[in-house]
Structure 1
Amino acid sequence: MGIFAAWGRQSATAPASTLDPSLATPGGSMGLPVGFEGVGEALLSDGCPLAACEAAGRESALDGASVDETLASLRTTWQQVRAEDPAYEAVAALVAAWSEATLSVVSHISCEDPMTGLSSLAHVRSTLSTLYRRHRPGGVHPRDSHALVVVDLPRDRHGGDGGGDPIGRAMRMAALGEALRTVYPSAEVVGRLGVNRVAVLAERDARLGVKVRLLRRLVDGVDVRGHDARVWIEGLPASDLASGLMLDELARA
């Protein structure tokens, strides 16, 4: 029977002759691929293994296993317990869970700088695009409802850029990000625009100036080790395209 054996063609219980005696023996070693013990247990107990297949698929993805490796482990498990290839439904459940977990990991990596915990430039760009897409004629335009508050950590007082200490710089950038989150705790995105800059997409309301002054005081308390930090309000342009160009300029500076 092929790897996509029809679920309905399998008997409700596997014939005893197809089961590995050591697996059926209480206390016996499962001897199955790591992470697929639950699948084996479900097959041995004649229960529905789909939930176990989903769990195994997620675990394999999070462990960094490829889809080929994951499918091979499923087939090995099925062969050892049932002496046949896995059913289509089991394969589908496994692959769907593996794909979902993999996409979740990729999305997390692309949205967040792993060293600082700040959102990536791509995520800031996506958030801005969403803001422009949601704008409807007659409504408040994004340039009137929001602004970027930028914190810049350019060159130190001795003319260097601090590039020789990337870990130290990342820690200082993370500290600047925390200062932004303290002043704007409900902000949708606090992101790193480049090596030297952090920004928050803030609401443009009556308290914007007060919050920026508070942020400047907090930034002054950050140990920037000789670096001059600057804070300013960057107004949003009229269009989504122009906002992308603006972010590019801020990232390059």
Structure 2
Amino acid sequence: MAGHDLALDGASVQEALDGLRQTWQQAAGTDPSYDVVSALMTAWSEATLGYLNQLSCEDPLTGLSSQAHLRSRLSEVYRLTGPGGVASHALVVFALAPGEASEDTGDHFTRAMRLARAGELSRTAFARDETVARLGIHRVGILTRRDEHLGRRVQVLRTLLDRLRDPGGEESPVRIWIEGLPTTDVGAGMLLDDLARG
């Protein structure tokens, strides 16, 4: 927790390590153990990486928009249209099957590449000013206008995604749906959080 707080306060790695050493020597009379230093550095690096990822509009691994960028675009829709006007927009969501991937780093990369390919296909069906963003490990969200062509574009996307094959060459089942937007911007943030966890 201390590493996380230090990173958010802008402390460098050296400042965090120096502070840990001074505190540990005053409290215990020795240098901190490897486990303590490791815990501090892990918390510091995770907070720093999270901050950097939120600065970018793009997910660094897939090239899709980041969830933070999608959240910003949603807030813009609420700001420009007002609570009643959000009915003019929708969130198209699709979820790729998790597959048999383990927690190995290579599997994370394989999943990200499948998601990147799926996002690329979605830009074929949604080629206007839509925001196509990564939502968690297996999901993509597309902020789009709700018009008379939305159902047809979702069907085109479903057809494209049904052809997406996993590395073994078998069909990967894809769930796709249109999500209505909540009446408030806060509700939209909670919806995105729920979708990213699912």
Class of the TM-score when normalised by the shorter of the 2 chains:
0.5 to 0.7
Equivalent residue, structure 2, for 1:178: 120
Larger CA Rg, structure 1 vs 2: 1
For the residues of structure 2 that align with 1:136 and 1:155, how far apart are their CA atoms? 37
Equivalent residue, structure 2, for 1:232: 177
**Structure 1 pair 230/107, CA: closer, same or farther in 2 (3 Å)?**
closer
The Cα shift of 1:111 comes to: 1.1
For the residues of structure 2 that align with 1:238 and 1:181, how far apart are their CA atoms? 27
The amino acid that maps onto 1:218 is L
Structure 2 matches for 1:203-214, cutoff 5 A?
203-214=145-156
The Cα shift of 1:108 comes to: 9.0
The amino acid that maps onto 2:85 is H
For the residues of structure 2 that align with 1:182 and 1:162, how far apart are their CA atoms? 30
Q: How many residues align?
A: 142
Equivalent residue, structure 2, for 1:150: 93
Give the TM-score, by structure 2 length.
0.66
Matched-pair contact (CA < 8 Å) for 1:155–1:162: no
Q: Secondary structure at the match of 1:111?
A: coil
**Structure 1 pair 167/245, CA: closer, same or farther in 2 (3 Å)?**
same
The Cα shift of 1:224 comes to: 2.9
**Structure 1 pair 209/120, CA: closer, same or farther in 2 (3 Å)?**
same
The amino acid that maps onto 1:232 is W
Identity %: 47
Structure with greater proportional strand content: 2
Matched-pair contact (CA < 8 Å) for 1:190–1:200: yes
The Cα shift of 1:191 comes to: 0.3
What are the superposed Cα offsets for residues 190-244 of structure 1, whole Å, 9 maximum, x if unpaired?
Answer: 1001111011111111111111111100001112345422111111111101000
The Cα shift of 1:136 comes to: 4.3
1:195 aligns with 2:137: yes
Q: Which has the higher contact order (CA 8 A, sep 6+)?
A: 2
Matched-pair contact (CA < 8 Å) for 1:187–1:200: no
Equivalent residue, structure 2, for 1:131: 77
Q: Secondary structure at the match of 2:62?
A: coil
The amino acid that maps onto 1:146 is H
The Cα shift of 1:182 comes to: 0.5
Gaps of 5+ in 2: 1-51
Matched-pair contact (CA < 8 Å) for 1:194–1:251: yes
